[in-house]
Structure 1
Amino acid sequence: MSDNSFARFDVSPADIDRVVSRFYTEVRRDAVLGPVFAAHVADWPEHESKIAAFWRNAILRENCYSGNPMRVHVSRPDVKAEHFPVWLNLFHETLKAELPDMQAHQWGALADRIGEGFRTGIVAMRQPKDAPPKLF
């Protein structure tokens, strides 16, 4: 598929675009995630393009994404730590529907690491400075 020898695993830019497009179609329909995204995404094609660039950067190492997704997520108080398991479940469903098992598993494992990083980052950055750490 991909001719990028530095890719983390074998998916193509077209695979990434297809997964991202289908995923955000499902996000817009989701009772939990849909309203959160609708409050912040005015231009869906632009958002999908930016997120596809994020994944091409993470998977294919294209160096085509610039941004700070942690800051974006933390700066939106309606984005909650408990949204990330919902997001990941929907993302895994999309990967399984769009990709062969091995690629879905590999991309899903990467998404799990990134999603857990966002979830724990949101918890840590939003907690009072003198409070004991939350471990869940």
Structure 2
Amino acid sequence: MPRIPPRFDITRAEIAQVVAAFYEAVRAHPGLGPVFAVHVKDWDRHEAKIVDFWANAILHERSYDRNPLAVHRDAGNVRPGMFDAWLGLFDSVLRRELRPDQAAAWSALAHRIGRSLRAGVVEKQTGADGVPILR
């Protein structure tokens, strides 16, 4: 069976570089750092899992078989408004670590995934009147 080509030109090593730089920035972020710290005890293991996620999404490696929506919904401390901070930080890392064409392509994919995750979190977090709780 022919291999599906990558979504854009990038290597697994470059994906790992971005993920490492991103989570270094997350740990230092005043809003996101504490949210992640509640859940991530082994950063190396977490980063390896996220490299697999992005390698799956970009390179079609089939190396990730978890459900990111369920993870974010079940975390208990992820709020829809946090995705803007997450994406802003991710975009700044992409621009710093990659060529402009790679950064733009990965950013577009991350924003599509982020919209889906945000919608899934909002769907779970609604008030008694059915209005989404956005913060």
Superposed pair shares fold, TM > 0.5: yes
Per the TM alignment, residue 116 of structure 1 is displaced from its structure 2 partner at its CA by 1.1
Distance 1:44 1:104 in 2: 23
User: What residue in structure 2 maps to residue 122 of structure 1?
Assistant: 121
Return 5+ residue gaps in structure 2 as ranges: none
Deviations along 1:78-106, one digit per CA (max 9) or x if unpaired, are 11111100000000000000000010000
Distance 1:99 1:43, change over 3 A: same
Calculate the aligned-residue CA RMSD, in Å.
1.7
Deviations 1:21-45 (A, max 9, x none): 0000000000000000001000000
| Residue 90 of structure 2: aligned partner | 91
* 2: CA distance, partners of 1:41 / 1:5: 32
Whether the aligned pair in 2 keeps the contact of 1:84 and 1:119 (CA below 8 Å) is yes
Range 116-125 or range 16-25, more displaced: 116-125
Q: Give the number of aligned pairs.
A: 132
Which residue of the partner structure matches residue 6 of structure 1?
5
Alpha-carbon distance, 1:6 to partner: 1.2
**Shift of residue 76 of structure 1?**
1.5
Q: Residues 39, 104 of structure 1: CA spacing in aligned structure 2 closer, same or farther, 3 A cutoff?
A: same
Letter in 2 for 1:58: A
Q: Specify the code of the residue in structure 1 equivalent to 2:90.
A: F
State the 1:130 CA deviation: 6.3
1:1-136 map, 5 Å: 6-127=5-126, 131-132=130-131
Alignment-mate amino acid for residue 31 of structure 2: V
Cα distance in 2 between the residues matched to 1:66 and 1:30: 28
Q: Work out whether residues 124 and 134 of structure 1, in 8 Å CA contact, stay in contact via their aligned partners in 2.
A: no
1:124–1:113 CA distance, 2 compared to 1 (3 A): same
SS of 1:7's partner is: coil
Q: Is the 8 A contact 2:125 2:132 kept in 1?
A: no
- Residue identity over aligned pairs, in percent, reads 46
TM-score (norm. length: structure 2): 0.92
